[in-house]
Amino acid sequence: MPNITEHENLRPFNTFGIEVFCDYFTELNAISEFSELTKNEIYLNNNRLIIGGGSNILFTKDFNGLVIKNNLKGKEILAEDDQEVVVKIGAGESWHGFVMWCIDKGFCGVENLSLIPGCVGASPMQNIGAYGIEIKEVFEELDAYDMKEGNKRVFKKEECHFGYRESVFKREYKDQFLIASVSFRLKKKAQLNVSYGAISDELKAAGIKDPGIKDVSEAVIRIRKSKLPDPAETGNAGSFFKNPEVPAEKFTALKKDFSQLVAYALPNGNYKLAAGWLIEQCGLKGHEHNGAAVHTRQALVLVNKNNCTGKDVYELSGYVLQKVFDKFGVTLEREVNII
């Protein structure tokens, strides 16, 4: 039976560095411990919250119930041939650590997702993505356990209903499953995607004409470090808002009024707007509220600048939402999970 502690401070377990407490806390290091835990009275009689790296959570208050930290580890090659490899990774493994492992082995497909904080188990929950790549492109399946009965269930890609920073685990199955492991289908021959964002410019600046996956990964890491704050130094959860999608008519109207509008055409005819650009145009870079602030280099990121509370961050996000709507008539959506 895993050890259960009371009145645990969750500051070390969320990258915003917010000090809140939970009634009960435990860590899972083996799936057998979860089976035992489901029979425990504390588990059965309390609200439950599963966390991994705590990189996509904003705690606005204490959590009344049991917090379960998923520490399930392991890396395994399930199948491979000359072209592809399928790997199974424990949900508690560091995402960036997994990416580095793939690069060391020459497994291609996740190099654009370097330096994303958090754990592997969270990657399918929100279909993480960066620089033109989303996890659904390499996802094979995942093993999960029902939070009520403890029964195992395998989810294939089509069952996850992946969308932009969305999956079935953020909607109809929210808080209903413990993700134990995730399997990915990766390439052995690189099919690089360097056209999105500043990757190609970064590679040119480094004098790299024929890049490999390691070169792309290192370019992404340099770009992210230049724009994004390190959670170990300044509390944050990365991108706080989703890039909004608007119809072509709305895009055309906005483009007429704002000629420098940053947007990307989508296959469905709509346009995805750069939320960071919208926020910046509202003059909000560096804007502060009770110790919470909009990051000075990347307006998409909210930071814990001076020992703020989760409520302070949430109130700041609401202010940002209102300002963007007032100026552009566009409604932003929070990407971070609000607790």
pLDDT tens track for 246-277: 999 999 999 999 999 999 899 899 999 999 99
* Cβ atoms < 10 Å from Cβ of 266: 13
Question: For the chain, what percent of residues have pLDDT higher than 70?
Answer: 100
Asked if residues 63 and 47 have their Cβ atoms less than 8 Å apart, the reply is: yes
Active-site option among 123, 239, 245, 317: 239
- State the average pLDDT over residues 40-46: 94
Residue 251: which residues within 8 A CB-CB, separation 6 or more? 261, 263, 270, 271, 273
Listed in order, the ranges of the chain carrying CATH 3.30.465.10 are 75-187
156 and 199 Cβ atoms separated by less than 8 Å: no
Round to whole Å and give the CA distance between 75 and 167: 23
Q: Which helix (H) or strand (E) holds 6?
A: strand 4-9
Which residues have CB under 8 Å from 230's CB, separation 6+?
none
| Residue closest to 89 by CA, chosen among 119, 60, 54 | 119
Specify the pLDDT at position 163.
87
Looking at the domain that runs over 4-70, which CATH code has it been given?
Answer: 3.30.43.10
| pLDDT value, residue 83 | 94
| Buried residues in 72-97 as b, exposed as e (16+ CB within 10 A) | bbebeeeeeeeeebbbbbbbbbbbbe
In the chain, which segments carry CATH 3.30.43.10?
A: 4-70
Split at pLDDT 50, 70, 90, the class of 133 is confident
**pLDDT reading at 27 higher than 80:** yes
Q: pLDDT-based confidence at 171, cuts 50/70/90? A: confident
**What pLDDT score does 161 carry?**
93
Task: Calculate the average pLDDT of the chain.
Answer: 93
Band (197; pLDDT cuts 50, 70, 90): low
Determine the pLDDT at residue 148.
86
Mean pLDDT of 170-188: 92
- Cβ proximity of 187 and 109 under 8 Å: yes
The pLDDT of residue 196 is above 80? no
Q: Would you state the pLDDT for residue 281?
A: 96
CATH topology of domain 235-338: 3.90.78
User: For 69-74, what is the mean pLDDT?
Assistant: 96
Tokens of 153: 């269930």
Determine which helix (DSSP H) or strand (DSSP E) holds 31, and give its type and residue range.
helix 31-37
d(C-alpha 46, C-alpha 67), whole Å = 10
What is the C-alpha separation between 44 and 56, in angstroms, rounded? Answer: 26
**From the candidates 55, 165, 224, 245, which is the catalytic residue?**
165
Which range, 43-52, 162-171, 187-196, is most confident? Answer: 43-52
Q: How far apart are CA 14 and CA 292, in angstroms?
A: 15
94 is catalytic: no
Lowest mean pLDDT among 11-15, 169-173, 241-245: 169-173
Return the CATH fold of 75-187: 3.30.465
**CATH 3.90.78.10 domain residues, the chain:** 235-338
Residue 240 near residue 276, CB atoms below 8 Å? no
Gap between the Cα atoms of 323 and 281, Å rounded: 10
CA distance 25 to 10: 9
- Token pair 């004409």 is found at 209
Residue 337: is its pLDDT beyond 70? Answer: yes
User: Which residue among 8, 33, 245, 335 is the active-site one?
Assistant: 335
Give the mean model confidence (pLDDT) for residues 121-145: 92
Q: Helix or strand or coil: residue 315? A: helix
Whether 165 is catalytic is: yes
Tell me whether residue 35 is one of the annotated catalytic residues. no
Range of lowest pLDDT (59-68, 128-137, 306-315): 128-137
